[in-house]
Amino acid sequence: MNDNKQKAVRTAYLSIFGNMALAFAKGIAGYFGNSYALIADAIESATDVFSSVLVLFGIRYSSKPADENHPYGHGRAEALVTFAVVGFLLVSATIIAYESIHNIVTPHKTPEKFTLIVLGAIVIIKEIFYRIVSKKSDDVNSSSLKADAWHHRSDAITSAMAFIGISIAIIFGPGYETADDWAALLASFFIIYNAYMIFRPALGEILDEHLYEDVILQIRGIAKTVEGVIDTEKCFVRKTGMTYLVDLHLTVDGEITVTKGHEIAHRLKDAIQHHIPEVADVLIHIEPNP
């Protein structure tokens, strides 16, 4: 899992420095281009920097090994960090919505044409970031990285909405100056929706919700290949950080010795962890077959 941790850390750094550069570029272009939608994008990217720093902290902390006070490890810290990331999303959406409404009722100049070039580039860059971070989050099984990926996707959406709004303002001219502000307001609702999509699985992780049927099916399949295993009964999977904890009821021949049953359980545990490296521990309960 150390390799996964390093991948996650490198991906978090990519998000941090990428968001810093884009926040600066958006802010400058928005200020000189008379576009609040672009400035709103800069605000979101600035909050993304802080949320990405939180993700980095969560990855490092959740990867700490188990100790006397934390026998199951520190993995749940990652889900808590995900909640904080959702908080940043909601704050940025609120700021964008408030300022958009303010600008809608306040006369201002039509955005400059060059802001469309900036926004087009940002949409492409942010979508690339989303795909990179999302793939890495799947590779290392990280909920906080998945949240960070959705930050990039929400940024791409707000930039796309700003592109549409500014295009309308430029094409239709006087009277349509607030089109990019309406676009920013609409984008804030997309951000709130994305926040919910990030929050829901993290909440399920904290509450040990039944979310990992695919892992359970894989475990049952592996069990069938281990000599001495007759069947599997209850199988519960909990996610903690980037790893899983498994509780499994195993059926073996009721006539074998305790020692033999113990050996079968260990062989199965080794097989599961070999085929599913993300499994940190397997607690096996032996059931005798009548």
pLDDT in tens, the chain (290 residues): 567 778 788 888 888 888 888 888 888 888 888 777 677 778 777 777 877 887 888 778 777 777 788 777 777 787 888 888 788 778 878 888 888 888 788 776 777 888 888 888 988 998 998 899 888 888 887 777 877 887 788 778 878 887 888 888 888 877 887 887 888 788 888 888 878 877 888 888 888 878 888 899 999 999 999 999 999 999 999 888 778 899 999 999 999 999 999 999 999 999 999 999 888 899 999 999 87
Residue 217: the pLDDT is 94
Contact 191, 96 (CB under 8 A): yes
Same domain, 97 and 235: no
The domain boundary, picked from 145, 175, 206, lies at 206
Contact by Cβ (8 Å): 60, 78: no
Query: What is the reported pLDDT for 2?
Result: 61
Taking the C-alpha atoms of residue 172 and residue 180, their distance in angstroms, rounded to an integer, is: 12
Q: What pTM value is reported for the model?
A: 0.69
pLDDT of residue 61: 79
For residue 248, give its domain range: 213-289
Query: Domain check: are 23 and 133 in the same one?
Result: yes
In this structure, the answer to whether residues 12 and 42 fall within a common structural domain is yes
What's the CATH number where 246 sits? 3.30.70.1350
Q: Do both 69 and 182 map to the same domain?
A: yes
Q: How many domains does the chain have?
A: 2
Q: Which of 55, 62, 61, 59 is nearest to 83 (CA)?
A: 55
Give yes or no: residues 229 and 259 share one domain: yes
Instruction: Answer yes or no: do 218 and 187 share one domain.
Output: no
Q: Are residues 37 and 150 in the same domain?
A: yes
Question: Same structural domain for residues 143 and 73?
Answer: yes
Amino acid at 43: I
